[in-house]
Amino acid sequence: MNIFLFQLFLVTILFIDPSAAFTDYLLKKCNQAGFCQRNRHYATNIQSSHNSYYLIDEQSIHIDLDNNNNNSSSLRANIIKTIPRNDIEDIMVELPFKLTFQNDWQSVRFTIDESFDSNTNDDTEAESPLLNKHRYNETGLWSFMNHTDSLNNTPLQFEKFETIQSNLDKFVNFVFQTPDLEQNVIKVYNDINQLEIHLFLDSFQILIFQGEDLILSINDRSLFNFEHHRSMEQNFQNVLPEESTYNMFADDFEYSKGDHVPFGPESIALDFTFNGFNSLYGIPEHADSLRLRDTSNDEPYRLFNVDVFQYNLDSRMPMYGAIPLLLTSNKDKSVGVFWNNPADTWVDIHYTDNGLSQSHIMSEAGIIDVFVFIGEKPSDITDQFTQLTGRPTLPLLSSIGYHQCRWNYNDELDVLNVQENMDREDIPFDFIWLDLEYTDDKKYFTWKPDSFGNPGRMLKKLAKYGRQLAVLIDPHIKTQYHISEEIKRQEAGVLNAGGDLYVGRCWPGDSIWIDTMGKIGQRVWDGFFKDFITVKLPSYIDNLHIWNDMNEPSIFNGPETTAPKDLIHNGGFEERSIHNVYGLTVHETTYDSMKDIYGISDKRPFILTRAFFAGSQRSAATWTGDNIANWDYLKASIPMILSNNIVGMPFIGADIAGFDGNPTPELIIRWYQTGLWYPFFRAHAHIDSIRREPYLLEKPVRDSVRDSIRLRYTLLPTFYSAFHESSINGNAIMKPMFFQYPEHNELYDVDNQFYLGNYGILVKPITSPETFTTTMTFPKGIFYDLTTLKALVVDHLKEVEIDAPIAKIPAFIEGGHILFKREIYRRSSKLMVNDPYTLLVAPTLDNGSASGKLYVDDGETFSYENGEYLETVVSLLAKSILKNDIVHIPVNADCLGNTMIEKIVIAMDSNTMDIGDHATIKIGSETRKIEVEHDDGTTTVIIKNPQVRVNEQWEISFSI
């Protein structure tokens, strides 16, 4: 054992690895959840009976053409569900269907609702006067950008149907062919992207082709199931022979706490078959591999926001957040299916031997609202999805620095001590966090008087070094204090099934929940923030940020640790219908309020949310919740974070070095080495764990942790540029291998290494103990070790053994990229803004070229939206010229980005470049000579102090 390992061993004995696990029995399995059991049962039976109960009523087909706005042209029809009955008339249920071909986005949308006016057998209304009997169809108000439905600007509404229009040829981009009634198919064709949809009338099936290729089949396995509303008395005549009636009007799961299921069965389900695709991805959040597993003999993936302290790994069980976007790719095509429904949802996955990926999506309530996205590359899907649901927020620069958190910092002195000790040890950080205990007796919007008597003073002391404070405010509100009284008074709380304010248990004991689904709740919540910050904090501050935790919502005495499904929200909608979007309504309302409060300084708010849904990326960061301080959770953090990154919610991290328990020193080192690549880089620890702020760690653990944090800070310009790119196109920041190289089949299973955005840094963290080498998969090219710049030439995609002693992170920069770094240590990111840059140039093997982008703004305000930013691209051309091309200069603030380049380092391999001893710089009409140093130890070339700035056009020519 070497000395270092021995020291590690000595320190290790102070720590114990926990062995804990989630209490599984609290959560339903599919066969304990009425609608999941029923839909799986139906799926098995319908595939063997080959019956079909759904068809499109030809007479109802109606095509709306809007020549001015292609996105609002649509095809509508009624799907008729027929329930056969012996000797008496069949029951017919009308299900309005609407299809829109959105050619701007290359996407197709369809919705299926239930028509209550015409379905005669529905008398549920009388039974539930408090409830809105219409299915919840307003998800888009939350999941789409701008809070409007992108098609109608109003919640979807289905009108009466007219007969089919003829004379369609004047329509430019779409050709809705007159139905070929002999073949019973309508074909819709878009000549821009060669998409063709075939809608079959007699069995309700949709096929989507691109050119000749069938890409996606919808309902080809006939799993479409729409449990229409009916009363318990009428149920016996409304059930199809293939159906089970399990728990249709009751919920006998032991921990469901008496859900009385007022509407009876109302689930919806549909199957999607991806043709020519071997793998499916997405639908986070699950602690599982990046590539979704075949669930044929297992539990389906469940999307249902719940509090899962010490969650299980390798599991399809639900977690804190849900983004119902399934995506896939092959070497030349990518497809995404967005299931815009926030109810409890299960997804079965099956891969066939002949190259089909099949999925079966089942939701407990609501309408079918599906978007199909088609693109060439997988990133096209993330792009289209975030065009619809909103781009990830461009965060505060400081929020992508290092966050120091723990449950809890006890008082102001404790907070300031942490700050002082971090500074004493030269460890940078930007955020410090206050968990639950800073409040007065767990009453949010208050401070514990003896410990945080003067929060304004504390905030100022932190602000002195550019630091921020985040405090926890959860949506459960202790009963009997002014905040809950106000919620009561304004009728802004969530109601129980009887229409009274719901009272459940959470941290403060008896609590009520703010209902941010509705305008009143939003206004009241906003008022609380204004009072808490603007009124109660005497002098103006803008370094206070908010953490919305437990917003699934977590309810200790609720079914499956969350809200009873029959609670009632604004508009008369049941929790059952909106569950997965509730958390988003909380954090988005918080964000809007903070944005308003900081309107004076125009500062961007920072919000951390635990629960999320499609659209959460617009206003919050998230994290993977209550993990455990052991190696398995470190390893699991990578596919979990990758999964969120590919569905448009890249600002995510995992608690470093494990929330629950006490990590070993070796685990701490490796976790920081991994965590520095998480888009959200935060250390956090459970209240019962031993204090482990970096400065408390024994040497050499402390040194190693400091190195990792500092590496993140040197790369902040690159991280920030990656965040900026993501805020424009939704791109992943921590990016899976197959996203970078979809043409390589071998990369589709790799989820233990990743790229940093489009910046060419390839990393494979060490996630197992006593591991000092690793096998990394490289595509063809040249890769320079990020620290030594030693070149590794890879002639074809292959695995390479890489050394990873304890102080080393296997990280490379791929030939073809240029990185912007800042190498001077400062206490926080704010203090770095005028620091000079170092350019790290990594030429390609073949023609010695490279390029890299830098985005700079003030890192704090929204002024970038008015053009106050600098964007520049540095390129190396033909091994001989390095030049800076300004893409955008700030409109007014010319000092922005007026920063020197202090060093240019060119990584070289004898094959890539051969540079002489001097170079010529040209800036405008001025030309001068500069020295070029060769580092004989490596093949690196260094230009020190070239006297150029990032915000000016310059060109360096090398002599050969």
Cα distance between residue 706 and residue 656, in whole Å: 14
- Burial (CB count within 10 angstroms: exposed 0-12, middle 13-18, buried 19+), residue 160: exposed
| Binding string, residues 650-669; x marks residues near ligand NOJ by CB under 6 A | ---------x----------
Provide the 10 A C-beta neighbour count for residue 926: 8
Give whichever of 204 and 452 is closer to ligand NOJ, judged by the CB atom.
452
The reply to whether 407 sits near ligand NOJ by the rule CB under 6 A is yes
Q: CB 858 → ligand NOJ: shortest distance, Å? A: 31
Provide the 10 A C-beta neighbour count for residue 161: 18
Cα distance between residue 687 and residue 666, in whole Å: 22
Number of residues in contact with ligand NOJ under rule CB under 6 A: 10
The one-character DSSP state at 826 is: -
Indicate if 655 belongs to the active site: no
Look-up: residue for tokens 């878009």?
190
Give whichever of 548 and 758 is closer to ligand NOJ, judged by the CB atom.
548
Catalytic one of 242, 626, 857, 902: 626
Distances (CA, A) of 923 to 417, 636, 951: 48, 49, 11
Give whichever of 116 and 407 is closer to ligand NOJ, judged by the CB atom.
407
Q: Using CB under 6 A, which residues numbered 671 to 700 contact ligand NOJ?
A: 684
Q: CB 257 → ligand NOJ: shortest distance, Å? A: 22
β-strands 881-888, 900-906: how paired?
unpaired
Q: CB 609 → ligand NOJ: shortest distance, Å? A: 11
The reply to whether 435 sits near ligand NOJ by the rule CB under 6 A is yes
From candidates 436, 462, 506, 649, binder to ligand NOJ by CB under 6 A? 436
Query: Three-state SS for 795?
Result: coil
The reply to whether 477 sits near ligand NOJ by the rule CB under 6 A is no
Residue nearest to ligand NOJ (CB): 407
Indicate if 149 belongs to the active site: no
Give whichever of 227 and 435 is closer to ligand NOJ, judged by the CB atom.
435
Give the H/E segment covering residue 631: helix 631-646
Give whichever of 56 and 319 is closer to ligand NOJ, judged by the CB atom.
319
Residue closest to 219 by CA, chosen among 358, 49, 34 = 358
Task: For residue 874, list its beta bridge partners.
Answer: 852, 884
Those residues whose C-beta lies under 8 Å from the C-beta of residue 708, and which sit 6 or more positions away, are 669, 672, 673, 675, 676, 809
Give whichever of 94 and 660 is closer to ligand NOJ, judged by the CB atom.
660
Q: CB 768 → ligand NOJ: shortest distance, Å? A: 25
Give whichever of 652 and 819 is closer to ligand NOJ, judged by the CB atom.
652
The phi and psi torsions of 533 (rounded to 5 degrees) equal: -100, -60
Query: Three-state SS for 272?
Result: strand
Residue closest to 284 by CA, chosen among 308, 319, 329 = 319
CB distance 318 to 303 below 8 Å:
yes
Q: CB 305 → ligand NOJ: shortest distance, Å? A: 13
Q: Tokens representing 752?
A: 């233990």
Give the H/E segment covering residue 76: strand 74-83
Cα distance between residue 625 and residue 407, in whole Å: 13
The one-character DSSP state at 211 is: T
- Burial (CB count within 10 angstroms: exposed 0-12, middle 13-18, buried 19+), residue 595: middle
Q: Using CB under 6 A, which residues numbered 903 to 922 contact ligand NOJ?
A: none
CA dihedral 83, 87, 89, 95 (to 10 degrees): 10
Q: Tokens representing 300?
A: 């389906």
The reply to whether 138 sits near ligand NOJ by the rule CB under 6 A is no
Q: Tokens representing 740?
A: 């970078």
Q: CB 631 → ligand NOJ: shortest distance, Å? A: 20
Distances (CA, A) of 617 to 335, 599, 680: 21, 21, 13
Q: CB 680 → ligand NOJ: shortest distance, Å? A: 13
Give whichever of 565 and 684 is closer to ligand NOJ, judged by the CB atom.
684
Q: CB 474 → ligand NOJ: shortest distance, Å? A: 7
Task: For residue 328, list its beta bridge partners.
Answer: 335
Give the H/E segment covering residue 209: strand 205-210
Helix 378-389 with 716-729: angle, nearest 10 deg? 70
Indicate if 549 belongs to the active site: yes
Give whichever of 684 and 853 is closer to ligand NOJ, judged by the CB atom.
684
Q: CB 472 → ligand NOJ: shortest distance, Å? A: 6
Give whichever of 259 and 435 is closer to ligand NOJ, judged by the CB atom.
435
Provide the 10 A C-beta neighbour count for residue 128: 17
Q: CB 652 → ligand NOJ: shortest distance, Å? A: 14
The one-character DSSP state at 38 is: H
For 232-250, the DSSP string reads TTTGGGS--TT---TTSS-
First to last CA, the chain: 48
The one-character DSSP state at 728 is: H
Q: Using CB under 6 A, which residues numbered 595 to 634 contact ligand NOJ?
A: 610, 625-626
The reply to whether 472 sits near ligand NOJ by the rule CB under 6 A is yes
Provide the 10 A C-beta neighbour count for residue 602: 15
Provide the 10 A C-beta neighbour count for residue 244: 16
Q: CB 432 → ligand NOJ: shortest distance, Å? A: 14
Q: Tokens representing 565?
A: 């499904």
Q: CB 62 → ligand NOJ: shortest distance, Å? A: 50
Cα distance between residue 346 and residue 36, in whole Å: 7
Q: Tokens representing 12?
A: 């290790």
Give whichever of 320 and 346 is closer to ligand NOJ, judged by the CB atom.
320
Cα distance between residue 218 and residue 319, in whole Å: 28
Catalytic one of 526, 549, 860, 909: 549
Give whichever of 600 and 687 is closer to ligand NOJ, judged by the CB atom.
687
Residue closest to 392 by CA, chosen among 648, 606, 734 = 648
Catalytic one of 552, 560, 655, 751: 552
Provide the 10 A C-beta neighbour count for residue 167: 8
Q: CB 470 → ligand NOJ: shortest distance, Å? A: 12
Give whichever of 576 and 610 is closer to ligand NOJ, judged by the CB atom.
610
Please give the positions annotated as active site.
549, 552, 626
Q: Which residues bind ligand NOJ (CB under 6 A)?
A: 407, 435-436, 472, 549, 610, 625-626, 659, 684
